[in-house]
Structure 1
């Protein structure tokens, strides 16, 4: 009989400081988030410790920030566990949802009991350290691959595929393609799609402004008119997406 997978704890951790002394690496952010997720279960300290010890699956979304030699292994060692399943994904915005689904499937098949799906980025901290000529950042996990600059998505190797053939492969290029294709499928005009998308993102902005873990927490949310209007501060990234569409 299949088990029913359930979410027992969720955690998030945001570091908004750009001080060099506060430059936490992705591993630290991830461990803090896992600690918060364990606390979110509502268990007392003893049972929480037992739950942590029972972790037998760790999936991690590959981080752009730091080239860890073995990030799932680093997380496991810090948690004091030795999961039978450890996986470090390729880059991709779909990976967190995909791995969440796969972890649930393994639990339903009784292949795992307690799974962690996690990830983290610290590009703001890395950028601050680079600006201060502090690379590698003090105290960050040592890696075999040297880091002498901050990751840039426009400078990465696109590999060998149809996207690379046409110099297309960055999120700011791919997402607008999806948007354009969906608009055509629905028979919308560019203006209709533009107005609909702006309203949707304005609703997202209102939610983000009230969420403590959102990067825009506490800031006045952008209106649909602000989102869809091209200005010097809201440039067109790739039709039909303006800067505010992405943020």
Structure 2
């Protein structure tokens, strides 16, 4: 293996499409086509050379618009010989694909790869509002094949108690994290606002951001008619915004093939370090809810591969679906809370727009563009799928990646370090809980009218910090006064009595 086989990103493109006439809405495949054509153009590759692509992988959309979007995209581009794959649900997907195909290119298993994804949920919203039909189906009518299996990330037991919507699960991490820090509810609410105010500042300066609006910490943190609570303590402005029309695409190849294609070397961006990790798939099987061993391992492995420390990374895009995703990743990666380096290059999922599973594709595209503008800098992108479940990271630079012991580009098998995470102990989970119990973490789910509707909690039959103490999921009674109190007082550590009703566990105080 020589430097000629080193994998690189050579072309990137992204689209934010707003307020187009209803008759002209392109749909997801059209959005991906535009982003892919941008990627060819900015790499100085003749679009006709799309016929040489060997692989086209599409990130699954929330609503797949056609039976086989990879094949439909390939057909539009003239890449008829390319093998098409669909990447299943998970925000980690784009970075996972870069990592996977970098390795495949370095091994000679792939030569020229296109990654793409899109969401057109704003188009869907507008068409529904206008009473128009929604039909973006196109040939072929064969079903797309999935690149990898899609794991189950929630149990029926968790789902029965409301632990399945991301907007109600990430608050469980948030309240555990706040309690561990010893902050009051009001103090932490403002800290979350300060964190995301910095994200909004980046979005305000980012072409293509769906909400390019600078917001103050107080505006983000304070509930209002325009900023209601969703899953307490998160307001609407703290939630990923998926109703966007956005797409992104990446072209990957080897240094040698890029030269054959005539790509200028100032377009080359190298993947210096990467890693992929998973937490336990079910939230209730985690060791605790304020840390992420998977992100800790992810950072260690990707930085080690790149031969860099976290202090040498100039630019970040940490996955930002909710504040806890950023806070926990920041801490596990060793970035100080007051670090002046921005934690996003786009503005993040709430403000740039979280194009479903594909947001990180936009983040990588933006990172590539930023690094080309400051040659030699290093940038890190992290990606997260599920409920802080599936993780991927990449460290990028225009600086050539050095050969590893003269053997060329290679990475450690993720299975080796995943085994460390899988071996971690966690509390036993019981389905039918009866007796004295303590709250480990909780949230209050709000309705669209702005009123609290349900208390969702994870509790223990014993001490919170005792890994042998059984864990359970429960709800509280739907008492408005109780639910309101749970947002004013810290109920982590509050004791009560849990009983099983036959369908659910209910904790009473």
Q: Cα distance, 1:17 vs. partner? A: 1.0
Which blocks of at least 5 consecutive residues in structure 2 are unaligned? Answer: 142-152, 240-349, 351-509
Q: Cα distance, 1:244 vs. partner? A: 0.6
Question: 5 Å matches for 1:199-218?
Answer: 199-217=194-212
Query: Matched residue pairs, number?
Result: 226
Q: Using a 3 Å threshold, how does the CA distance of structure 1 residues 84 and 76 change in structure 2: closer, same or farther?
A: closer
Q: Using a 3 Å threshold, how does the CA distance of structure 1 residues 159 and 190 change in structure 2: closer, same or farther?
A: closer
Highest RCO, 1 vs 2 (Cα 8 Å, sep ≥ 6) = 2
2:54–2:113: 8 Å Cα contact kept in structure 1?
yes
Cα offsets for 1:174-225 (capped at 9, x unmatched): 33233334445555544444333222211111111111211023xx411111
Residue in structure 1 matching 2:238, options 235, 238, 245? 245
Structure whose CA Rg is larger: 2
Residue in structure 1 matching 2:40, options 15, 18, 38? 38
Deviates more, 1:184-193 or 1:161-170: 184-193
Give the corresponding residue for 2:119: 121
Question: 5 Å matches for 1:1-247?
Answer: 1=1, 3-17=5-19, 19-41=21-43, 43=44, 47-49=45-47, 51-82=49-80, 85-137=83-135, 140-142=136-138, 161-184=156-179, 186=181, 188-217=183-212, 220-246=213-239, 247=350
Q: Cα distance, 1:119 vs. partner? A: 0.8
Residue 120 of structure 1 aligns to a residue whose secondary structure is strand
Cα offsets for 1:132-181 (capped at 9, x unmatched): 222134xx22597xxxxxxxxxxxxx975453232322221233233334
Q: Using a 3 Å threshold, how does the CA distance of structure 1 residues 185 and 78 change in structure 2: closer, same or farther?
A: farther
Which blocks of at least 5 consecutive residues in structure 1 are unaligned? Answer: 145-157
Residue 8 of structure 1 aligns to a residue whose secondary structure is strand
Residue 9 of structure 2 aligns to a residue whose secondary structure is coil
Instruction: State the TM-score, normalized to the length of structure 2.
Output: 0.41
Q: Using a 3 Å threshold, how does the CA distance of structure 1 residues 134 and 197 change in structure 2: closer, same or farther?
A: same
Residue 13 of structure 1 aligns to a residue whose secondary structure is strand
Q: Using a 3 Å threshold, how does the CA distance of structure 1 residues 114 and 127 change in structure 2: closer, same or farther?
A: same
Bigger share in helix? 1
Whole-Å separation in 2 of the counterparts to 1:102 and 1:162: 33
Q: Cα distance, 1:54 vs. partner? A: 2.5
Whole-Å separation in 2 of the counterparts to 1:187 and 1:103: 43
Instruction: State the TM-score, normalized to the length of structure 1.
Output: 0.80
1:23–1:126: 8 Å Cα contact kept in structure 2?
no
- Pairwise CA RMSD: 2.5
Q: Using a 3 Å threshold, how does the CA distance of structure 1 residues 196 and 40 change in structure 2: closer, same or farther?
A: farther
Bigger share in strand? 2
Whole-Å separation in 2 of the counterparts to 1:181 and 1:30: 39
Residue 60 of structure 1 aligns to a residue whose secondary structure is strand
Residue 205 of structure 2 aligns to a residue whose secondary structure is coil
2:51–2:81: 8 Å Cα contact kept in structure 1?
no
Q: Cα distance, 1:121 vs. partner? A: 0.9
Q: Cα distance, 1:18 vs. partner? A: 5.4
Whole-Å separation in 2 of the counterparts to 1:57 and 1:117: 8
Whole-Å separation in 2 of the counterparts to 1:132 and 1:18: 14
